[in-house]
Every structure is written in C-alpha cells, then in structure tokens.
Amino acid sequence: MTRFRGDADATIHTLLETAARRALGDASVAAGDLDAVHVANMAAEAFDGVSGLHNALTASIGAHGAQADRVENTSASGASAFQRGVQAVASGAADSALVVGGERMSDASTETATGVIGSIVHPREHAYGVTLPSFGGLAADTYLRRHDAPYEALASVAAKNHANGARNEYAQFQSEISVAEAADSPRVADPLRLYDCCPTTDGAAAVLIESTGEAESQGAGEDESENESEGGDSAVTVRACESAVGTHAVAERDDLLHMESVASAGEAAFAAADRDRDDVDVACIHDAFTVLELLELEELGFYGAGEAWQATIDGETALDGALPVNPGGGLKARGHPLGATGVSQLVELVWQLRGDADGRQVDCETGLAVNVAGFGNNAICTILEVSA
Amino acid sequence: MTDGEPAVSAGATACEECGETWAYDRARCRVCGSESFRAVALGTGELVATTVSRVTPPGVREPNPLGVARFANGVQVTAQLADEDLTVGNRVVLARDYELRHGTRGPRLESG
C-alpha cells in the first residue's frame, strides 16, 4: 500500500499503480500472469475528474488480457472488490486476482467532498442535509444515553487508535492524542467532536489473491492463499469473505444502534469460516466515527450491548489487550481514502498474521475485518488466517 | 411526484392490505408487497435522538439541528429540528413548510 496522506503528491492513477506494483512484487507474481484486476474506488469522477481507473491501471502495469472492472460500494468499495476477487478465484474463473483500492480526496473542496459523500444517504435524509457525521452524532447520542456512558467512552477509542497509528509508518496521523485533547476538539455533530471523526485521505492499497488449487475440495471454496504487499513470504488464507445489506434509511431501523448489515455479514463469515469470536486474535473495525467501533464490536458479538465502551477504557482492545482492535490505527488514524480502506484493513491483517507489523505486532493466527458502506447500508466481513 | 407537492411529506403511508405503515416513499409494501396504499397522518411522536450537525453540505443551514422521532406503529423519521432546544423525550410533530436546503422545502420537527 501507499503511505496514507492528507494531500498526496501523486495522481489517483499513480497511487493505484504504486500499491499494485508493491503487491505484485511482494507476491513475486508477474502482471502478465494475472487473470483478473478489481479496482475499488468510490468517486474518482467527482474527486479527480476521471473514470475508467481499472482499464488505465491494468494497462499501465502490463496485465494485458486480464479481465478488469471497478467495484463501487461507497466506503466499503475496497472489501467488495476483495470479495469479487475471492469469488473469481474460488469459482475457478481466475487463478490469480489483483485487488487494488484507492481514492484521492484532497483535490476536491470541502464542499465538494461533503456533497459527494452526503449523496449516499437516503433521498429523504438528503433533503434534510443529513451527513454521515450527523448519523454518527445521532447514534453516539443514543449510545451514551442508553448505556449511561460518559463522552470519554468515545474519546478513548480515538486515543487508542491514534496510539496505534503512531506506530504505523503508513498512517496519515502518526501522533498520539489524549482523551482530554479529544474532548477539547471542535464539535462536529454533537456529541461527536473532531477527533471522533475519520479524516479525508489520499491513498491506495492492494492485495493479491491466488488459488491454492484446493478449491474443489473445499465445498464453498473460500480457501485461497493470499499474498500482498511488503515483505515476508508466508501465505495467508482467506477463511471467509461475506457481505450483507441493511436498510438504506437509518430511521427505518427499529433500533438506531442496530447495524443489521454488520451483524448479518459477521454471522455469515463466522459460519463460512467455521470459527467463533473466541478464535479471533485481532480485528480491523470500520471506525469512521468512534461510536462505530463500539457498535460494530457489539454487533459482531465480541461484546454485549453497551459493554464495548468500558472494555475500551479498560484497555481490552489496545495492542496488549485481549482483543487488539485496529492495530494499524483504523480509519481514525491510518486514514480513510474511501475505496482503499477495506483493502488497507486486509493489508494490516496480513502484516499482523505474517508477523511483519513492526512496532505494533500482536500475537495472532486469526484476524477479522469489517468494512462498512454508508452508515451501515452494507457491510463485508472477512476472516483471514495463518497456520499455527 | 407531481409538480406543486413539497419534496418531503409531513404524513405517512399505510398499506391497505396488511396495515404496515411507513414514512418514506415506497413503490410497494415491504411486508406484503401490495401496491395499494392510503395516506395517514403521522400524528404526535417522541424525539428519540438528537444531534447538531456543525459542518453541513452546500445549501444547508449551519448549524443544522437534527433529530429522530418515533411515531405510532413504530414509524420513525429523521428530520431537521425547528428548535435546537428540543431534547430526547419531547413530544413532537412534523409540521409546516421550511426551506430545508437550497431549493427543497418541507416540514420540520416541532414541539407537539
């Protein structure tokens, strides 16, 4: 992947190509041998004034003859492209698939970026000027009120993820913040403050999915070796990659704290992987807003309703905790280049599972990632593993 | 939608077949699939969550107080608050005609 930055000195094409070449180099695969290239990107037309990213990338890396397409699933485009690649390899349609996610958001004005991202909400909510941070504010208001939790419940997520980002040379923010600093930052959508919200980011990430040649004997067939960028030579296995949609309009959920898409994708992934919560050693959670990390940990069944915030304050989700969450800094500190995010979560898991996460390594054999579109419109849950 | 209607309705819709009720436009009932509806009033509801959005899109007021209100039959809507002082637990109605964002008019949640 590329270093995530607030303002990268590179075009979207260059970011994608850089990440792609690093992944191919890491896996020692020649671009000409690729069968499929799946590019994740949400809004290059609006942010960069370009389209057809997948064809440009596939040609520039020299993957002549490969099938190529672009996958758009808003902020979960990355994991959706990965799911497409996994399905291509599992079905036998491809022996090797390159998945590259990228977004370059910094050229757009704040107004344009807010307008583009705001356009994904339900038309009725759009009429009211509801933004994604607004949903974060409504959910956070509900969470703190229902569980009688202090604002520090949210800020402790931000402080933890910044501490992890400070150990990740690819992160946009590599500095620690205190809970007090978060609590003093400007208000964005009450009770959320600036440090409760992910930034806008430029960056790209890539992984390579290869068949183990065992797909036919694996039933559902979700068992591929997967290598990706940067160092190490041990393959990581895809145990599961499952997705599910939820309601489009947030108000049409019976409970504002219920993220049906996350719960459904998680259940499906645990079932497909034949694994349970206790098997997961490390997790990358879609913390676009601090409250989402708490909600998703609870929806996935790692904690009961209203329990994740105290666990976070108690350090259970820190690097040295029982379940390290977002060891790379999460969306909060690593950054959130929309189309790249889901792939960057998987890159972090691969580094962790290989033992290559210098400075932030946790003890792990099984890792889980969840990438969420919109405010729970869609979610993809992936479980990766290395042999003990 | 025909010309002259507000972009955002202040009412709800009930299915003639099964009674399912909803606030946001649908082509068919999500429970029974019927396309036979009737308009019903939302009535008075309760505010269940609030926020004040302080960074807003082009053409939207800033700050933008927002809330989610729950009405009879479990119908919920997200809408702008007419008054920032409205708090969770307050009785509210979706009423009157405001400019919600540039070029779009409709009702806000007001004290009921």
Chain B hits for A188, Cβ within 8 Å: 53-55
Tokens of B55: 């960074």
Contacts of A142 in chain B (CB under 8 A): 48-49
A128-164 pLDDT, tens digit per residue, is 999 999 999 999 999 999 999 999 999 999 999 999 9
A295-332 residue pLDDT tens: 999 999 999 999 999 999 999 999 999 999 999 999 99
CA distance B105 to A213: 59
User: pLDDT tens-digit profile of A204-254?
Assistant: 999 999 998 754 333 333 334 544 433 345 689 999 999 999 988 888 898
Q: Is A187 on the interface with B (CB under 8 A)?
A: yes
- Cross-chain residue pair A189–B51, CB shorter than 8 Å: yes
**Can you give the pLDDT at residue A221?**
31
- B/e letters for A125-154, b = 16+ CB within 10 Å, e = fewer, are bbbbbbbbbbbbbbbbbbbbeebebebbbb
DSSP of B57-83, one letter per residue? Answer: -TTB-SSEEEEEEE-GGG-EEEEEBS-
Q: Which of B51, B54, B58 sits opposite A141 (nearest CB)?
A: B51
- Give the chain B residue nearest A145 (alpha carbons): B49
Residues sharing a CB contact under 8 Å with residue A69, sequence separation 6 or more, in sequence order: A37, A38, A39, A54, A84
Q: Are A372 and A336 in contact (CB under 8 A)?
A: no
| Tokens representing residue A308 in the block | 């994740």
Q: How far off is chain A from B40, nearest CA to CA, in Å?
A: 17
> In this prediction, what percent of chain A has a pLDDT beyond 90?
87
The reply to whether residue B101 touches residue A249, judged by beta carbons under 8 angstroms, is: no
Helix axes A77-90, A338-354, angle to 10 degrees: 60
Q: How far apart are the first and last CA of chain A?
A: 26
| Interval B59-76 mean pLDDT | 95
Residues of A in contact with B50 (CB under 8 A): 138, 141, 190
How high is the mean pLDDT of chain B?
A: 92
Measured in angstroms, the CA of A249 and the nearest CA of chain B are apart by 9
> Which one, of A278, A259, A258, lies nearest residue A370 by Cα?
A259
Nearest by CB to A188, from B48, B54, B76: name it: B54
**Chain A interface, mutation test: which of B1, B66, B100, most A Cβ atoms within 10 Å?**
B66
Residues of B within 8 A of A127 (CB-CB) are 7-8, 100-101, 104, 106
Q: Do A249 and B49 touch (CB under 8 A)?
A: no
Q: In this predicted model, what pLDDT tens digit does every residue of A189-214 receive, in sequence order?
A: 999 999 999 999 999 999 999 998 75
CB within 8 Å: B55 and A254:
no
The shortest C-alpha distance from A195 to chain B (Å) reads 14
B25/A124 touch (CB, cutoff 8 Å), yes or no: yes
Of B7, B25, B57, the CB nearest to A131: B57
């000195």: which residue's tokens?
Answer: A9
Say how far apart CA A324 and CA A327 lie, in whole Å: 6
Is A251 near chain B, with CB under 8 Å? yes
Residue in chain A closest to B9 (alpha carbons) equals A124
pLDDT digits 0-9 by tens, A360-373? 999 999 999 999 99
3-state SS, residue B99: strand
Q: Is A360 exposed, middle or buried (0-12, 13-18, 19+ CB in 10 A)?
A: buried
Q: How far is A189 from chain B (nearest CA, A)?
A: 4
What is the residue type of A273?
A
In whole angstroms, give the CA distance from residue A246 to residue A243: 10
Q: What is the pLDDT of residue A224?
A: 41
pLDDT digits (tens, 9 = 90+) for B42-58: 999 999 999 999 989 88
pTM to 2 decimal places: 0.94
- pLDDT tens profile A108-132: 887 787 778 888 899 999 999 999 9
Q: Given an 8 Å threshold on Cβ–Cβ distance, is B51 in contact with A187?
A: no
B23 close to A (CB below 8 A)? yes
Q: Which position has the token pair 């036979």?
A: B36
- What pLDDT, on the 0 to 100 scale, is given for residue A388? 67
* Cα dihedral A159, A164, A165, A170 in deg (nearest 10): -170
Please report the pLDDT score of residue B6 as a whole number: 58
Q: How does DSSP assign A96-139, residue by residue?
A: EEEEEEEEE-TTS-HHHHHHHHHTTS-HHHHHTT--HHHHHHHH
